[in-house]
Chain A
């Protein structure tokens, strides 16, 4: 839509920021993975789904991997259950395909075990209480399994494009760190220590070391309780021989994230905390040599009347209320011709050439007119609230762009409601690509 020219620049865009153009990114056959990251509650999942749908409808074969266990993606894509297997989404227009899946951590972990161990050993591992706790979703496992699943999907080479929604981590760090940490733990010194006494037993030269280690396992045993330590040891021993190193797997996934063909999108809302977290992500990705495509800024507000400031709107609302009181008292003083508070560019002629609105009405219509005036007061107050919101969003965005002028930004206009269906996702996709928040519809467009 075209903005009403009379309103001038209807929307102040981030002038210094580079604009993030998403269509070329998702159209490029070289783009194989798009990772959406950001803090909780900023619309990450929705952004991932909308981008996936858009890419599919532009002809690519896409799979969207979501981690967030909420049912939202399933709902919006009309899939009843997302069950760790990509399911084709119905109702996608065009030649492309959209598949969606929700990560089931435990099942992903189980599948790795089953794929790499013989049946007997797999049973030992799957029944180990320590394994059961670890796989059911303690901190880090979800992040690790998400990356593992991404690696699997990529290895299948069945899709042109994989769009990943990242876990709602307690902090930005977890998503990048957990795979490495889990990998280095399961492959690291502590594990060797836990399993060492048996291996080192016979060697005389290692005797001193061995004593130290027994002491250490003794301490751990006291701390964790003997049974738990034994469970851990059994688990580790079983894993060790079947896996060939978690670290190797974690490293491979990490490299995949750095590879050309991967693009990170940091998702945020124009709120202080979300943008602070976004800035942190940007810095972190740069430090890790991860390719950042840009920032998706969701829920940005605009106004078709943004040259009427909050203060002006409130002053006008007060004028109107005051004059209503005067009307009701029977006075019709020239309050209506109060100074034109709107804009200096506007010739004041209109005020005098037209009769004041409600003053000329007959008494029978007074009620209705008062109703309209009442509505107008509400409209003006609503506008003042919107303008305050706009300036607050502007301030937070400006702070981000001041810190990171190099980051390209795509803004997505706020929707009044939630997304429930493909049409809603398509709408978000349009807004993502259009790169500017839409203004409220106006009748004369």
Chain B
């Protein structure tokens, strides 16, 4: 099991949720997992229903069996000052740089420096050991940038190592790349059973592979329950409306006569079934496309009541049962 688990996915597919559930699943039974946020959205805090996370590692949840989940929202500015401190002991010079806008520059637009800092911090957490020589965290789970940017994000250190050909940044960048391109890392992609996210997932995997970054698993999120099977859907097209009306009436929903309560439900309900049929067919197609990717595939259910803390634990259990942790 890779110790750095990177979770990416198209916007709107729920990658933060999946990353959080994965951290919980990995922490189960006495393990320690660190959940890292790199995009400054405070999505983790919202998910765990806590106040905004500061730039420090803080325990946010307890996993079944005594495990612990810590969270860290990386602030690129503070990470840079950290980094300067680490390498140069730049107390006042760091502040001066800040005044001049250099920090702003570095974390906003300098060639990838921001991404270097973010990946660097995550890799540092992966490698960190406590006094007894044990790893500080058994797992680090990163809620990473979306699929469209993930390869560039993870590969930034390669680019930086090329730009800054010598010096500490160069060395740091290379050290990070060694972790990211090893079996220590697995990059998972979250998708929905819809055409665009699936297409982006396929493209993203191709990109990751060509950059020789380790692709992990594909997680299909928000899978709707199968309420009508193929047989039902055949029936939807051919069933006499009167038969459905009688059946609804038998279920206690009023009269089956024309104009009766049950009768008036037939059309809207069959209409909904036709929509379902259309979506069902699309979903089957997308499943087939995902199947061709030749990667382990996991499915997480759509939670009827929306996403909350209880739901998160439910998804974590699901991931564990599916052998993802």
Give the interface centre of B87, B114, B168, B254 by most chain A CB atoms within 10 Å. B254
> CB-CB contacts of B175-209 with A at 8 A, as 1s and 0s?
00000000000000000001111011000000000
User: Does B148 contact A392, Cβ atoms closer than 8 Å?
Assistant: no
Find chain B residues with CB under 8 A from A233 CB.
Answer: none
Q: A69 contacts the other chain (Cβ, under 8 Å)?
A: yes
Encoded as 1 (CB less than 8 Å from any A CB) or 0, chain B from 226 to 258 comes to 011101100110010101101111111111110
Give chain A nearest CB distance to B77 CB in angstroms: 13
**Across the two chains, which residue of chain A brings its CB closest to B146?**
A40
Choose the segment among B21-29, B38-46, B65-73 that binds chain A (4+ C-beta atoms closer than 8 Å).
B38-46
Q: How far is the CB of B106 from chain A (nearest CB, A)?
A: 9
Contact (Cβ within 8 A) A440 B235: no
Known interface pairs A272-B307, A418-B195; A319-B109 also in contact (CB < 8 Å): no
CB contacts (< 8 Å) of A441 on chain B: these are 271, 274
Contact between B253 and A133, CB atoms less than 8 A apart: no
Measured between alpha carbons, how far is A225 from B171 in the docked complex, in Å? 11
Q: Is A376 on the interface with B (CB-CB < 8 A)?
A: yes
Q: Is the CB of A336 within 8 A of B250?
A: yes
**Shortest CB distance A382–B (Å):** 5
Find out whether the CB atom of A140 lies under 8 angstroms from the CB atom of B167. no
- Contact (Cβ within 8 A) B109 A340: no
Which residues of chain A in 337-354 are interfacial with respect to chain B, using CB atoms and an 8 Å cutoff?
337-343, 346, 348-351, 353-354
Shortest Cβ gap from B151 to chain A (Å): 12
In the complex, are the beta carbons of B265 and A308 less than 8 A apart? yes
Judge if B322 is at the interface, Cβ distance under 8 Å.
Answer: no
Question: Would you call B39 and A316 a contact (CB within 8 A)?
Answer: no
Cα distance A442–B13 when bound, in Å? 32
A170 and B88 within 8 A (CB): no
Query: Is B169 an interface residue, CB under 8 A from the partner?
Result: yes
Among the 9-residue stretches B52-60, B97-105, B124-132, B291-299, the one with 4 or more Cβ atoms under 8 Å from chain A is B97-105
A423 on the interface (CB 8 Å rule)?
Answer: no
Q: How far is the CB of A292 from chain B (nearest CB, A)?
A: 22
Contacting residues, chain B, for A39 (C-beta < 8 A): 11-12
* With A216-B100, A375-B228, A378-B232: A190-B260 Cβ-Cβ less than 8 Å: no
B250–A70 CB distance below 8 A? no
Judging by beta carbons under 8 Å apart, are B166 and A372 in contact?
no
Task: Pick from B167, B227, B250: contact of A222, CB below 8 A.
Answer: B167
Tell me, in angstroms, the Cα distance from A1 to B302 when the chains sit together.
Answer: 31
Of B212-220, B275-283, B312-320, the one touching chain A: B275-283
Q: Which residues of B contact A440 (CB under 8 A)?
A: 268, 271-272, 274-275
Scan residues 228-265 of chain A and give those whose CB is less than 8 A from a CB of chain B: 228, 231
Docked complex Cα distance between A316 and B250 (Å): 9
Are B264 and A40 closer than 8 Å at their CB atoms? no
Count of interface residues, chain A, beta-carbon cutoff 8 Å: 107
Check B100–A189 contact: CB distance below 8 A: yes
Q: Residue on A with the closest CB to B260?
A: A350
Encode contact with A along B304-315: 1 for CB under 8 Å, 0 otherwise.
Answer: 111100000000
Give the dominant DSSP class at B's interface. Answer: helix
State whether the Cβ of B30 lies closer than 8 Å to any Cβ in chain A. no
**Residue A208 CB within 8 A of the other chain:** no
Binds B, one of A47-55, A56-64, A176-184, A429-437: A176-184
Closest to B9 in A: A41
B112 within 8 A of A: yes
Say whether B166 contacts A385, CB under 8 Å.
no
Confirm or deny: A16 has a beta carbon within 8 angstroms of a beta carbon on chain B: no
Q: CA–CA, A351 to B245, complex, Å? A: 12
Q: Which residues of B contact A323 (CB under 8 A)?
A: 250
Q: Given the interface contacts A225-B164, A375-B235, does A356 sit within 8 Å of B261 by beta carbon?
A: no
- Chain B residues whose C-beta falls within 8 Å of the C-beta of A443 in the assembled complex: 241, 267
**A72-B198 Cα distance, complex, nearest whole Å:** 12
Picked from B87, B148, B249, B253, the residue with its CB within 8 Å of the CB of A70 is: B148
Q: Are B200 and A70 in contact (CB under 8 A)?
A: yes
**From residue B272, how far is it (CB to closest CB) to chain A in Å?**
6
Q: How far is the CA of A219 from the CA of B87 in the complex (A)?
A: 12
**CB <8 Å contact, B196 and A358:** no
> Which of A69, A224, A381 lies at the interface centre, i.e. has the most chain B CB atoms within 10 A of its CB?
A224
Please tell me if the beta carbons of B243 and A369 are within 8 angstroms of each other in the complex. Answer: yes
Chain B CB within 8 A of A223 CB:
yes
Question: A185 vs B268: C-alpha distance in the bound complex, in angstroms?
Answer: 59
| Interface residue? A227 (CB, 8 A) | yes
Interface residues of A in 68-88 (CB under 8 A from B): 68-72
- Bound: A176/B282 CA distance, A: 37
Contact of A227 among B84, B112, B164, B195 (CB under 8 A): B164
Q: Given A219-B88, A382-B227, answer yes or no on A168-B11 (Cβ-Cβ < 8 Å).
A: yes
Q: How far is the CA of A336 from the CA of B90 in the complex (A)?
A: 81
Q: Is B3's CB within 8 Å of the partner chain A? A: no
Q: Are B101 and A379 in contact (CB under 8 A)?
A: no
Query: CB within 8 Å of B: which of A136-171?
Result: 137-141, 168, 170-171
| Residues of B contacting A189 in the complex (Cβ-Cβ under 8 angstroms) | 100-101
Chain B residues near A374 (CB-CB < 8 A): 232
Interface residues in A287-341 by Cβ distance below 8 A to B read 303-305, 308, 312, 315-317, 319-320, 323, 336-341
Given contacts A228-B163, A441-B271, contact A223 B111 (CB under 8 A): no
How many Å from the CB of B310 to the closest CB on chain A?
15
Q: Shortest distance in angstroms between A259's beta carbon and chain B's nearest beta carbon? A: 26
Query: Judging by beta carbons under 8 Å apart, are B276 and A350 in contact?
Result: no
Q: Is the CB of B273 within 8 A of A380?
A: no
When C-beta atoms are compared, the residue in chain B nearest to A343 turns out to be B261
Q: Mark A116-141, 1 if CB is under 8 A from B, else 0.
A: 00000000000001100110011111
CA distance A340 to B164 in the complex (A): 76
Is A225 within 8 A of B166, CB to CB?
yes
Once A138-B109, A442-B271 are accepted as A-B contacts, the answer to whether A320 and B250 lie under 8 Å apart by CB is yes
Further pairs besides A222-B167, A343-B254, A378-B228: 9, Cβ < 8 Å: A138-B114, A171-B41, A181-B104, A225-B170, A373-B250, A385-B225, A386-B272, A417-B278, A443-B241
Chain A residues within CB distance 8 Å of chain B: 4, 6-7, 39-42, 68-72, 129-130, 133-134, 137-141, 168, 170-171, 178, 181-182, 184-185, 188-190, 193, 216, 219-220, 222-228, 231, 269, 271-274, 276, 303-305, 308, 312, 315-317, 319-320, 323, 336-343, 346, 348-351, 353-354, 356-359, 369, 371-383, 385-386, 388, 392, 416-418, 439-444
* 24 A–B contacts from the bound complex (CB under 8 Å): A4-B264, A6-B259, A130-B163, A138-B115, A181-B109, A189-B100, A223-B169, A225-B163, A272-B307, A304-B267, A305-B268, A305-B269, A305-B272, A308-B253, A340-B252, A341-B252, A341-B253, A350-B254, A351-B255, A356-B246, A357-B256, A372-B239, A375-B235, A441-B271
| 7 smallest beta-carbon distances between A and B, as pairs | A40-B11, A41-B12, A350-B255, A440-B271, A304-B268, A357-B246, A225-B167
